[in-house]
């Protein structure tokens, strides 16, 4: 999967208007909630990765602080891509409550979400569990509230 081309296509389809754009505008409070949750999730896994890698040594903390913006921005972009792809699929006539599975860039998910999430689990498993439950509940809540 060419992530950059897919992301540009998603943005272009939104900008062109039509069903996808109307769907997002009609459900703006729900969409804003999902975007805020994506931001919270990204901040959480970035913090967990920095705490785990930083540990007790100053040099490792420097490495963690250098990597933090890449983890934060990368995870947020991938999360938003998956969320908006899912919303687009729902807008185009999903035939089930949860809609079809959106295209997922699994390599990027593993690198910028999976590994930092595992580091968060090792550093602070309570926070990891809360973030995971929030993400699951938010997607289920969106699907139930949006069901037509």
- For 110-122, write each residue's pLDDT tens digit: 999 999 999 999 9
In the structure encoding, which two tokens stand for residue 15, read together?
């900008």
Q: How far apart are CA 34 and CA 138, in angstroms?
A: 7
CB atoms within 10 A of CB 79: 22
Q: Which of 111, 105, 130, 108 is nearest to 44 (CA)?
A: 130
Q: Write down the pLDDT at residue 97.
A: 65
Q: How far apart are CA 108 and CA 138, in angstroms?
A: 22
Q: What angle do CA 126, 48, 123 make, to 5 degrees?
A: 55
Question: Quick check: 141 pLDDT over 70?
Answer: yes
Q: Write down the pLDDT at residue 146.
A: 77
Q: Write down the pLDDT at residue 143.
A: 83
Question: Quick check: 148 pLDDT over 60?
Answer: no
Dmax of the chain from CA atoms? 54
Q: How far apart are CA 141 and CA 138, in angstroms?
A: 5
In the structure encoding, which two tokens stand for residue 96, read together?
């089930």
Cβ proximity of 132 and 59 under 8 Å: no
Helix (H, G, I), strand (E, B) or coil at 139: helix
Helix (H, G, I), strand (E, B) or coil at 41: helix
Q: Write down the pLDDT at residue 98.
A: 66
């Amino acid at each position: 999967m060419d992530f950059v081309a897919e992301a540009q296509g998603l943005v272009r389809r939104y900008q062109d208007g039509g069903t996808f754009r109307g769907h997002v505008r009609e459900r703006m409070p729900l969409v804003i909630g999902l975007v805020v949750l994506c931001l919270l999730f990204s901040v959480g896994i970035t913090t967990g990765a920095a705490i785990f890698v930083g540990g007790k040594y100053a040099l490792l903390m420097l490495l963690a602080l250098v990597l933090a913006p890449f983890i934060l921005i990368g995870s947020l972009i991938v999360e938003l891509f998956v969320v908006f792809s899912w919303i687009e699929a729902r807008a185009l006539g999903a035939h089930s409550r949860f809609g079809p599975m959106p295209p997922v860039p699994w390599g990027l998910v593993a690198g910028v979400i999976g590994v930092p999430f595992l580091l968060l689990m090792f550093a602070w498993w309570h926070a990891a569990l809360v973030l995971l439950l929030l993400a699951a509940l938010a997607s289920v809540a969106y699907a139930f509230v949006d069901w037509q």
